[in-house]
Amino acid sequence: MNAPTTSAPMRLGNVLTKRGFVTIEQLEVALDHQKNKGKNKLLGEILVDLGYCTEDQIIECLAVEYGIPYAKLEARLYDPRVVGILPREYIEKNLVFPLFLIDDVLTIAVTEISNLFLIDEIQTLTEKQVQIVASSPRDVRRMIQNLPDSKVFVIDDIIEDSDQSEVTLIEDAIEDIGDVEEIAGQSPVIRLVNYVIYNAVKEGASDIHIEPAERCMRVRYRIDGKLHKSLEVPQHLLNAVNSRIKIMAGLDISERRLPQDGRVHVMLDSRKIDLRVSTFPGNRGEKTVIRVLDTKKVTLVLKHLGFAEDILDRFLNNIHAPNGIVLVTGPTGSGKSTTLYAALNEIATMENNICTVEDPIEYHLPLINQFQVQERVGLTFSKALRTLLRQDPDVIMVGEVRDEETGRTAIQAALTGHLVFSTLHTNDAVSAVTRLVNMGVEPYLIGAALNMVLAQRLVRSICPKCSEAYEPPRNLRKTLERMGYEIPVFRKGIGCRYCRNSGYSGRLGVHEMLTIDDELRDAIVAGMPIGELRRLAVKSKNLISMQHDGFRKVREGITTIEEVLHATGDVAMASMT
């Protein structure tokens, strides 16, 4: 504990007792301990060691004593653009953390509030006027650990009033690329790349595709699951644009023959956005795809993800279970990770030790310990999972069950009293059982550990600005009625400026829920074929099908019959629309 000595202990003790953090009796015990056994220890350290109060309470009281503010650090309390004002090595060595810069005054969190030399040193290094707030060493270390490894690029400071007309002016021929890094650092290329990212975030795109065409470089955005052309620029800019993106993501700009993956953080509208970069060489040049992870666009609240009430009730019951496995299945891009993050958010408390193993970590969550898989150094899913079991976890989330070893370890964790969340790539909920068996996991282990499987897809929502009723083909309505679905009014979007004339705005999930009871466990252990297993689940009312959930959303006017049929793969019925 970094705190002043001399006469400070009594003053600190008075503040602690006045605020009710410790009793007078506890203070006397600590002072006696300091006098007889801990002469080299500060009072605050002794009180924490004895369990009478917390490190945060000590720092808060010291802040009162010294007349400076106390700050409980959170990610939203600092400006990522300001952190780089001090070298990271200096921050880690001295346990300080720059928070924000306003009118040339740097506010910085410190743990050693009595060290005036440190404050003078920071003023000299930064050439800024410094004001300090007190924070605990634990909080400062956590903030340092959460700093991104890659550089943060601030688009706001460069893009300013750029518009498409400005971008299309980049027509100067580059006959000889020469030093690509130099070309990539020139302002037209920087302005173009920043515009592409800025516009993608503004449009709500989930992915940016930068690809070589026959006579141009084409940029497309994936919005609500569909690709839309954004702009085309001269093809000779492709290498410079790709190199600029590689520089931002810390990739090798000289390597154009092999795929590369990286990440970069940008600041836009005063919020941090994570970009995942993937390059792949093609016959006309490299194609670059950028995944946009914008926390503002992501809802990590279960009831906002499109769950029907009966499915949500079953899901909540299973994620609050004491042990077992909960699986979320679906293809890439179907929202599996978002659902799991929302589930972890739902159960995260100070009393739970929740740990995740991910590749990559997409969103940072409070009260949750998140660990990144590092395949290159041998930290695989299965190895990380085995290590986590020695970390006294209550809940474990494994990003994906990819192989027999990971599946077997996850099941063993569930059978030894842990609640395990994970994902699988299957087309429906019942197929998850077959997938695990095909991996080599014994059916009796699956039957014993599996609690629930949630399969999901994302469908586009009808645009609320241009939604209107319409009459579908008569044979489609009759077919739905024979299946037991009476939909009095069908709705669709006719297209407007708000939805880019698509008739859709945003996406939500359609779900298939399989819950496992004793009868289904016996059937899994017995190796029942997937078709019979599905019929048994329907008969016992343990399965709510994705088609059923989708048709309910059509009846409620949330999405269209075409979207549901496309998501559920019903080709025959889709031909009627």
DSSP secondary structure string for all residues of 268-331: ETTEEEEEEEEEEE-SSSEEEEEEEE-GGG----GGGTT--HHHHHHHHHHHTSSSEEEEEE-S
Cβ–Cβ < 8 Å for 368, 354: yes
| Least confident window among 100-104, 164-168, 427-431, 550-554 | 164-168
- CA quadruple 140, 145, 146, 150: dihedral sign: positive
- Three-state SS for 101? strand
% residues pLDDT > 70 (the chain): 88
pLDDT for the residue numbered 342: 93
pLDDT for the residue numbered 327: 97
pLDDT for the residue numbered 178: 43
Please give the Cα distance from 338 to 474 (Å, whole number).
38
Take residue 396 and report the two structure tokens written for it.
């474990």
For 389-398, how does the pLDDT look when each residue is reduced to its tens digit (9 = 90+)?
A: 889 999 999 9
Please give the Cα distance from 25 to 400 (Å, whole number).
52
> Quick one: pLDDT band at residue 28, thresholds 50, 70, 90?
confident
Name the nearest CA neighbour of 568 among 539, 552, 545, 540: 545
Domains along the chain with CATH numbers: 12-146 (3.30.300.160), 188-294 (3.30.450.90), 302-458+507-545 (3.40.50.300)
pLDDT for the residue numbered 182: 54
Q: At residue 93, does pLDDT exceed 90?
A: no
For 417-427, how does the pLDDT look when each residue is reduced to its tens digit (9 = 90+)?
A: 999 999 999 98
Q: At residue 61, does pLDDT exceed 60?
A: yes
Name the nearest CA neighbour of 432 among 308, 508, 337, 325: 325
For 453-481, how does the pLDDT look when each residue is reduced to its tens digit (9 = 90+)?
A: 999 999 999 999 999 999 888 888 888 88
pLDDT, average across residues 170-175 = 35
> Which H helix or E strand runs over 452?
strand 450-462
pLDDT, average across residues 153-169 = 45
User: Across the chain, which distance is largest between two alpha carbons, in Å?
Assistant: 91
DSSP 42: -
Q: At residue 328, does pLDDT exceed 70?
A: yes
For 213-242, how does the pLDDT look when each residue is reduced to its tens digit (9 = 90+)?
A: 888 899 999 998 899 988 888 888 898 899
Please, what is the average pLDDT of the chain?
Answer: 84
Mutual angle of helices 55-66 and 137-145, in 10-degree steps:
110
Q: Which residue has the tokens 């972890």?
A: 344
Q: At residue 162, does pLDDT exceed 70?
A: no
